[in-house]
Amino acid sequence: MTDDESNASPESTNGVSRDDAFSSNPNEVVEIIEGKVEKVSVSKHPEASIPRTELSLADIKRSQSHPMRWVVYLIVLLAAIIAPYWLGRVLAVERTAQVVKILSHFSPQGVALISWTVTVFALATFALSFVESHAWLWRNLFLLSLALGQLIGGVSLLKFRFWYSTYVVYNSSSVLVNAANLGIIAALLAAGLYAALFVGLLIGVKKDSPLNILTRSWVSFLMFFIVEAIALLIVLFTNLIIAF
């Protein structure tokens, strides 16, 4: 080791002093890049946007859960399933003439379209209540559409082999309530078909495949409405309505 090397300042490296290594700008430092001394910009450390707290993540989640709200919602949901269907059956049996008078303003295709629309809206809002889990709007709309759908199902005596019951209660006007049942059943069957297609895509399509876009949220939602529309067209433009 020479005297010059031994006398070199410990604060210098390759001709760059420690003072030079730090610029007056706190967001710049001096580095040696390919043998040249250059100033390099560095990002400023961001300030914390979340206040310091002693609460754990579990405590925060519990404070936002609102269990009583969910209890009330489940009670209302149960009521929306039972009460409208019971009311619809009461109207069908005890107010048959009034029900027929109201339905006579519509064609069978129109009745099927109404019941299909209500059912699809209930299914869509049910799905959106999970996608937008923080928004109660979709849950409330699901309750309303579910209650209306149950009322229609009660009036039309929806059950397995419904055409026997509807003919006994409504006689020659049973074609109208049968159309309502077909609209509901078509929407439910289409939803089942869509669910099978969606699960099949999730399992069978590779992540790098172009078909994987069909599993994206809004694209899959569009596919749901396409399947539902096909089911509606089958009901409206075939002989299913007059077959029952």
pLDDT at 56: 58
**Cα–Cα distance measured from residue 84 to residue 149, given in angstroms and rounded to the nearest whole number:** 8
pLDDT tens digits, one per residue of 228-240: 999 999 999 988 8
Instruction: For CA atoms 198, 200, 205, 207, give the dihedral sign.
Output: positive
**Cα–Cα distance measured from residue 184 to residue 163, given in angstroms and rounded to the nearest whole number:** 14
Distance of CA 45 to the CA centre of its chain: 37
**Cα–Cα distance measured from residue 74 to residue 44, given in angstroms and rounded to the nearest whole number:** 49
Find which of 19-33, 41-55, 197-211 is predicted with most confidence, using mean pLDDT.
197-211
SS3 content of the chain, % helix, strand, coil (to 5): 70, 5, 25
Beta bridge partners of 32: 37
Both tokens assigned to 4: 């010059």
Q: Which residue has the higher pLDDT, 32 or 176?
A: 176
pLDDT tens digits, one per residue of 101-123: 999 999 999 999 999 999 999 99
Specify the length of the chain in residues: 244
Q: Which residue has the higher pLDDT, 79 or 63?
A: 79
- Helical H segments across 33-66, by residue range: 57-65
Among 60-74, 96-110, 197-211, the minimum mean pLDDT is found in 60-74
AA letter at 177: V
Both tokens assigned to 19: 């003072």
